[in-house]
Amino acid sequence: MTPHTHKQSLLMLGVGLIVSMIVVSCMETTDYSAAIERHKKLAGELRDNRLYEAAIDEYSQILNIEGVDDKTRANIHYLTARIYYDHLQNYEKAAANYVCAQSLDPDASYAAEASRKLVASLEKMGNIVNAKRQLDNVVNLDAGPRNDKDVVVARIGGVPVYMSEIDDQIQTLPPEIQKQYLNRKAKIEFVHQHVGVELLYHAAVRENYGDDPEVKRRQHLFYKQLLVDRYVVDKVIPQVQIDTSDVSNFYLANKSKRYQDAPYDSVKAQVFLDYQ
């Protein structure tokens, strides 16, 4: 064998080894992906048949596979946490898995739900201090000061509640009721009520009451009524020849009985329809 031929043989051998390694690597990746899907499918079937411990065991098989990426691991921890929380009421293990899911993939699509459920799990365990710490990171009222003179009157989970928010809430009440909150003492009492309602609201959200069918049904009906009212005010009333003073008098005559003393502007569309 000539030196040139020997070099060619070594080169071909090296190329062959590289190709073999690539093929083996691809096969391992394929087997790894297939194994994950197989375990996830079986875990889902076990969960649907209320075999919760067995489903968790299947999810654990995925976590035991070396080389599983963090995003996949986070999703498996999240699915496991849901079983512990929703079906087994094991809030300690649920909390542990929610923490893992958050840590491995903090930007996941389910991150908000995982945060709420983590807080709820800690509360159910009686771990109030850590629950409050987590709540500080979860609660978001999407509120901010209207101007430099806006005053912080309370805090919910570390998020400030501004006086402008309180004033907005009071202005939604009937005029007679608004007058009751003009003095400082009454307004402080209203702030306490507002904070209490917000705390209950966030607790209900963490417990997924927003997914309740009856809540969704009533939410849809309320939303539909809002759209109808807005359409009537913007599109229908301007095109109808009607004496507005007559409509106003009709409202005043039925203010308490029909409209529970609600401000005229808030029930204007309904008054118009009733008058017709």
Helix axes 184-206, 111-124, angle to 10 degrees: 100
User: In three state form, how does the secondary structure of 135-183 look?
Assistant: HHHHCCCCCCCCCCCCCEEEEECCEEEEHHHHHHHHHCCCHHHHHHHCC
- Note the pLDDT of residue 27: 45
Superfamily, domain 3-138: Tetratricopeptide repeat domain (1.25.40.10)
Domain ranges of the chain: 3-138, 142-211, 214-276
DSSP state of 235: I
Helical H runs in 52-90? 52-63, 70-86
Q: What is the pLDDT of residue 130?
A: 58
The answer to whether the predicted template modeling score (pTM) of the entire model surpasses 0.85 is no
Between 217 and 234, the higher pLDDT residue? 217
Q: Write the pLDDT tens digit of every residue in 9-32.
A: 555 555 555 545 554 454 444 457
Mean pLDDT throughout 136-157? 62
Average pLDDT, stretch 251-268? 75
Average pLDDT, the chain: 77
In this predicted structure, what is the pLDDT of residue 54? 93
Residue 232: pLDDT over 90? no
H helix or E strand, kind and range, residue 156: strand 152-156
The number of C-alpha atoms within 13 Å of 196 and in the hemisphere containing its C-beta is: 6
Band the pLDDT of 146: cuts 50, 70, 90. Answer: low
Instruction: Give the pLDDT mean for 115-129.
Output: 75
Those residues with Cβ within 8 angstroms of residue 167's Cβ, 6 or more apart along the chain or in another chain: none
pLDDT at position 115 = 81
